[in-house]
Amino acid sequence: MQNLLSAFFVGGITLAAPAAFAAERTVTFSVDNMTCASCPYIVKTSMASVAGVDNVAISLEAMTATVTFDDGKTTAEAIAAASTNAGYPAHPQQGS
């Protein structure tokens, strides 16, 4: 019985471990093709639809999107792909 409890305890720690290392992360992306007033809305909507994204701030003037997300649920690559699929290729900036 004690071996069974030990196995459940170790298994529980193993399953919980990835969540313990997840962290909030902020990445700024350069976004191509934003040329009009509706473009930022489309980029923001596409990026915000990715599970794990908490906030998206768009600058049409700088042609950037600053995204805060849970890196245990998504990646910068997945967020960039969502924007790219909407017609606005996004690339993480250096240092993000």
pTM of the model: 0.77
Whether 39 and 30 have beta carbons less than 8 Å apart is answered as: no
Q: Are 63 and 32 in contact (CB under 8 A)?
A: yes
- CA–CA dist 8, 68 (Å, integer): 35
Provide, rounded to the nearest whole percent, the portion of the chain with pLDDT above 70.
77
Amino acid at 2: Q
Q: Per residue in 17-57, pLDDT tens?
A: 555 577 999 999 999 999 999 999 999 999 999 999 999 99
Q: Tokens at residue 64, please?
A: 């950037």
